């Protein structure tokens, strides 16, 4: 296959075709494709000549969503270097672990994280970078602008959330981002005149790659918010008139509960993409009732992330599905022994193969070998296909509760509980049991001031699920622990229940 060069060419070519078109709008700042290309070239030159960054070196970025990080990504692509976006919500000890593991040559940050950057870089052989704002960089002049990157070069190093242990660095090549963009183009029918609203954090592949990098591949315009705020998001939908946006269920719920929900004009949105966790059916319905076509996407950090998705209308017709196999990758299911499952409606581990799949885990060849077998990435997720090829995500393998020899899916119970009016959020986890091995226990946040009794919950479950799947205890709490992407962290829920152990099984 012909090497198509580095992905920085996307910006350069759009700067040639549509130089004055807005590439990124962030607050009151509008950056044209010509300006973004010039900025990218200046950063690439500064990284090379000022900091000695060369092919394969890591460049860390710590900060809120900002066009600077986007320019850094394409500058690294020009060099064949690797961008390492850091999760600013992590504790300094967690950030230090990532820096020690990834050994970046330098760390860049925005002003809000200057002190944190200095602290986490202390004692580690990493430089604290200067200002990569465009105005602070010298003109490129006649000096050579680095142009050494290739599509096979690693360009993005993203650390997993670490909910199952120490975080692992996932390595993606420039080719990964290209084919992920192509999947997104097909999913969203992306085109150059689209306006794309981005409010999720760019330190995750969901915020960075579901729509932002694909939009820049197409020559569209990105409306970038520093952080998610439900009021600001609704204002942007009302005033900036975006065609596309991505939200996770937690941010969708925050928007639905905002005072401006009923007065916002959503008519510009061609579709709203969601995923990253099970999406409650009533949440999809609330947005569909506002005239918004909701589509789900399935994937992971390791798949860049788009691996399966719905098209408009399927979120309403198949609310429990997460889409069909993406255009540029394959999905198959495997049983616990690795045998391929061909029959519909039979659960197995979801495995993904394609050019969007990661190169591997940073400095973890053993972990890579376990996860990627014969080119297939084993996701650790359980799911099945229906007769028409719709993929249904059931649960994480680690969340399957084996009770008396029966497999119980926490997500299946949570889907039913999510239909109960008066429940804010729910997480079902496995709890040790002398007789059954383990049993399901539900941690529940009730919506104030509505009170829902255990009898109310049991009545709904009795009508929907077999008795052996019913939680054997309910623990009512004020809030459930979440990670930076808004996902509930089951391991932390188990610990939280353990701290309230006297309530488990007592009817509280």
Q: What is the mean pLDDT of each run of 10 residues along the chain (508 residues)?
A: 84 98 97 97 93 95 96 97 94 89 94 91 79 70 81 96 71 98 98 98 96 98 97 98 94 94 97 88 93 96 97 91 97 94 95 98 95 95 95 88 83 88 90 86 83 87 88 91 75 86 48
Considering the domain architecture, whether residues 225 and 317 belong to the same structural domain is answered as yes
Both 370 and 428 in one domain: the answer is: no
- Predicted pLDDT of residue 12: 97
- The total of other beta-carbon atoms located within 10 Å of residue 449's CB is 6
Ramachandran quadrant class, 413 (left: phi over 0; alpha: psi -120 to 50; beta: rest): alpha
Predicted TM-score (pTM) of the model is 0.87
Residues 343 and 485 in one domain: no
Mapped to the 3 state alphabet, what secondary structure does 278-307 carry? CCCHHHHHHHHHCCCCEEEEEECHHHCCEE
Whether the CA torsion 133, 136, 142, 144 is positive or negative: it is negative
Question: In this structure, what token pair is assigned to residue 271?
Answer: 């579709």
Q: How far apart are CA 23 and CA 219, in angstroms?
A: 7
Query: Considering 357, 391, 425, which residue would you say is the last residue of a domain?
Result: 391
Residue 86 and residue 202 share a domain: yes
pLDDT reported for residue 507: 36
Burial class (CB in 10 A: 0-12, 13-18, 19+), 72: buried
- Give all strands (DSSP E) within 276-411, no chain letters: 294-299, 306-309, 324-325, 330-334, 340-341, 348-353, 360-361, 372-373, 376-385, 391-396, 400-403, 406-409
> Residue 380 in contact with residue 396, Cβ under 8 Å?
yes
Domain count, the chain: 2
3 state SS for 88-152: CCCCHHHHHHHHHHHCCCEEEECHHHHHHHHHHHCCCCCEECCCCCHHHCCCCCCCCCCCCCCCC
Question: Residue 504 has what pLDDT?
Answer: 61
Residues 213 and 342 in one domain: yes
The reply to whether 352 and 257 lie within a common domain is yes
- Write down the number of H helices and E strands in the chain: 16, 27
Residues 405 and 414: their CA atoms lie apart, in Å, by 21
Model pLDDT, residue 372: 96
The domain spanning residue 457 has which CATH number?
3.30.300.30
448 in any annotated domain: yes
Range of the domain at 442: 404-503
- Identify whether residues 411 and 376 lie together within a single domain: no
Instruction: Supply the pLDDT for residue 322.
Output: 94
Please indicate, yes or no, if residue 397 is contained in any of the structural domains. Answer: no
Q: Is residue 396 part of a domain?
A: no
Per DSSP, the three-state class of 12 is helix
Give domain status of residue 399, yes or no.
no
149 within domain boundaries: yes
H runs (alpha helix) in 223-345: 230-239, 249-256, 281-289, 314-317
Is residue 247 within 8 A of residue 272, CB to CB? The reply is yes
CATH number at residue 172: 3.40.50.12780
- Per the CB < 8 A criterion, the answer to whether 32 and 38 are in contact is no
Token pair 């760019």: residue: 202
- Asked if 381 and 418 sit in the same domain, the reply is no
Instruction: Select from 85, 129, 90, 134 the least CA-distant residue to 108.
Output: 129
**Alpha carbon distance 316, 285 (integer Å):** 7
């Amino acid at each position: 296959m012909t090497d198509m060069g580095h992905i920085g060419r996307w910006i350069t070519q759009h700067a040639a075709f549509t130089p004055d078109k807005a590439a990124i709008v962030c607050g009151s700042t509008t950056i044209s494709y010509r300006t973004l290309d010039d900025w990218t070239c200046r950063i690439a030159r500064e990284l090379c000549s000022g900091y000695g960054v060369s092919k394969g070196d890591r460049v860390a970025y710590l900060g809120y969503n900002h066009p600077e990080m986007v320019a850094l990504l394409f500058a690294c692509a020009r060099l064949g270097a690797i961008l390492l976006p850091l999760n600013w919500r992590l504790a300094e000890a967690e950030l230090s672990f990532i820096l020690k593991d990834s050994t970046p040559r330098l760390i860049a940050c925005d002003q809000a994280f200057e002190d944190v950057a200095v602290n986490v870089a202390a004692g580690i052989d990493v430089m604290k970078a200067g200002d990569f704002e465009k105005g602070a960089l010298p003109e490129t002049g006649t000096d050579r602008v680095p142009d050494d990157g290739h599509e096979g070069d690693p360009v993005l190093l993203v650390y997993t959330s670490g909910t199952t242990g120490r975080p692992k660095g996932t390595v993606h090549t420039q080719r990964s981002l290209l084919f992920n963009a192509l999947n997104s183009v097909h999913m969203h029918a992306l085109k150059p005149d689209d306006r794309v609203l981005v409010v999720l954090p760019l330190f995750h592949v969901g915020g960075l790659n579901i729509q932002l990098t694909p939009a820049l591949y197409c020559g569209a315009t990105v409306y970038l918010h520093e952080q998610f705020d439900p009021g600001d998001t609704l204002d942007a939908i009302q005033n900036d008139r975006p065609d596309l946006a991505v939200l996770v269920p937690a941010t969708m719920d925050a928007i639905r509960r905002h005072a401006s929900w009923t007065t916002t004009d959503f008519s510009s949105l061609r579709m709203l993409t969601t995923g990253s966790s099970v999406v409650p059916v009533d949440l999809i319905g609330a947005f569909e009732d506002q005239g918004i076509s909701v589509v789900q996407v399935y994937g992971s950090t390791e798949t860049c992330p788009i691996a399966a998705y719905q098209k408009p209308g399927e979120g309403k017709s198949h609310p429990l599905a997460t889409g069909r196999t993406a255009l540029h990758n394959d999905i198959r299911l495997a049983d616990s022994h690795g045998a391929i499952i061909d029959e519909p409606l039979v659960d197995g581990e979801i495995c993904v193969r394609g050019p969007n799949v990661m190169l591997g885990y940073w400095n973890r060849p053993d972990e890579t070998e376990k996860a990627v077998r014969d080119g297939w990435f084993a996701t650790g997720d359980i799911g099945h296909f229906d007769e028409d090829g719709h993929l249904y995500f059931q649960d994480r393998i680690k969340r399957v509760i084996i009770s008396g020899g029966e497999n119980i899916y926490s997500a299946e119970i949570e889907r039913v509980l999510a239909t109960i009016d008066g429940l804010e959020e729910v997480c079902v986890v496995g709890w040790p049991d002398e007789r059954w091995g383990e049993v399901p226990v539900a941690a529940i946040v009730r919506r104030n001031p509505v009170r829902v009794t255990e009898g109310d919950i049991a009545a709904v479950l009795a009508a929907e699920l077999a008795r052996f799947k019913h939680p054997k205890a309910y623990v009512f709490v004020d809030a459930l622990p979440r990670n930076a992407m808004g996902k509930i962290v089951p391991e932390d829920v188990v610990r939280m229940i353990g701290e309230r152990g006297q309530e488990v099984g007592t009817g509280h």
